[in-house]
Amino acid sequence: MLDPYYLKERLRVILKLPIDEAGEALDKWVGSGRRCRIPTFVKLQRSIVKHRAAILASSEHGLSNGRIESMNTKIRLITRIVLGFKFPDALIALAMLSLGGHQPVLPGRK
C-alpha cells in the first residue's frame, strides 16, 4: 500500500509544476490514487479525473478560491458572535469592520 503522506505531498508538488509537466504528473498520480486502498484517496482521484481540465487551468493561471473560502469562514464566525442581536445590521457592520479593510482610530489609542 502507498504511503498517504507521500501521496498528499506528491499532489501538492504536482499543482506547483509548469502546465506542460503537470498534466502527465497528474495522470500518474491518478493511477497511484486508484491503486491506493484508502477510501479518501480513491474518492479524490475520481474527483481529479472529473475536474482535470479545471484543475490544470487553475494551475496554469495561478488562480484559487482560497481567499473567498477564508472570507466565508470569517463571516460564519462573525454570524455566531452576533446571534443574540435583534437586527442584521450588527452582522453587516461587524463584517464590514473586520473584512472591509477600514481601520478607524479608536478613542484613547494611537
User: 51 and 18 in one domain?
Assistant: yes
User: 44 and 12 in one domain?
Assistant: yes
User: 50 and 74 in one domain?
Assistant: no
Instruction: Tell me the pLDDT tens digit for each residue of 53-72.
Output: 999 988 888 888 888 899 99
Asked whether residue 15 is assigned to any structural domain, the reply reads yes
User: 56 and 8 in one domain?
Assistant: yes
Q: Residue 62: what pLDDT?
A: 81
If one counts the domains in the chain, the total is 2
User: 93 and 45 in one domain?
Assistant: no
Q: Which three cell numbers stand for residue 62?
A: 495561478
Q: How many CA atoms does the CB half-sphere of 4 hold within 13 Å?
A: 7
Q: Residue 46: what pLDDT?
A: 94
User: 70 and 34 in one domain?
Assistant: no
Helices (H), the chain: 4-14, 19-35, 39-50, 52-61, 66-81, 89-99
Instruction: Tell me the pLDDT tens digit for each residue of 29-51.
Output: 999 988 888 899 899 999 999 99
Asked whether residue 108 is assigned to any structural domain, the reply reads no
Which pTM value belongs to this model?
0.61
Instruction: Tell me the pLDDT tens digit for each residue of 2-22.
Output: 788 898 999 999 988 888 899
Asked whether residue 106 is assigned to any structural domain, the reply reads no
Task: For residue 47, give its domain range.
Answer: 4-61
